[in-house]
Amino acid sequence: MPLQSFSIRLCNWDQARAEARRIRELVFVREQGVPLELEWDDQDPGCEHALAYAADGSVVGTGRLLPDGHIGRMAVLKEWRGKGAGALLLQALVEHARHRGHASARLNAQSYAAGFYRRFGFELAGPEFIEAGIPHVPMQRNFSAGRGGSAN
């Protein structure tokens, strides 16, 4: 279903740091105006990170899974959006959360992107709030008995 061919690599922070930082700084800091000091927190070393590789080997997206099953810092370079990299990143992180035994995966979606996450079984889990000057909504996907949902 992706319009392009991508591969996803799950790795630790030491392995992901250079590319994840590059992508997050381009997307969140430069493009969206998130202050650098808000983008970088102390969570990265304890997270599992996902990197999306294009067919030419370049890294075009990233995301992370916190130890509590929270997915965050999902970012795809502007020129690669809408081509399937974000979907594959999300699917990999959701599946990893399920594999770890979490009852659900949670995330704080930028409000404009909530529809993207709904396509993968996420539902609104609270009211809209502002984070780093950007409207967000909390979302959750439960891993109840059975295999419901479309992110497998």
Q: Residue 86 belongs to a domain with what CATH number?
A: 3.40.630.30
- pLDDT at position 149 is 42
Under DSSP, is residue 73 helix (H, G, I), strand (E, B) or coil?
strand
Let me know if residue 152 belongs to a domain.
Answer: no
Residue 150 is assigned to a structural domain of this protein: no
Query: Considering the domain boundaries, does residue 14 fall inside one?
Result: yes
Residue 149 lies in a domain: no
How many domains does the chain fold into? 1
Write the CB contacts of 78 (distance below 8 Å, at least 6 apart in sequence): 27, 31
Give residue 110's domain range: 6-142
Q: Is 66 exposed, middle or buried (0-12, 13-18, 19+ CB in 10 A)?
A: middle
Predicted confidence (pLDDT) per residue in 89-148, tens digit: 999 999 999 999 999 999 999 999 999 999 999 999 999 999 999 999 999 999 975 444
Task: Report whether 63 contacts 93 (CB < 8 A).
Answer: yes
SS3 content of the chain, % helix, strand, coil (to 5): 35, 30, 35
Residue 28, in any domain of the structure: yes
How many helices (H) and strands (E) would you count in the chain? 4, 8
In a domain, 110, yes or no: yes
Is the pLDDT at 30 greater than 50? The verdict is yes
Residue 145: the pLDDT is 55
Residue 115 lies in a domain: yes
The answer as to whether 148 is a domain residue is no
Q: What is the dihedral of CA 13, 17, 21, 22, to 10 degrees?
A: -140
Arithmetic mean of pLDDT over the chain: 92
The full length of the chain comes to 152
Query: What residues have CB less than 8 Å from 81, skipping those under 6 apart?
Result: none
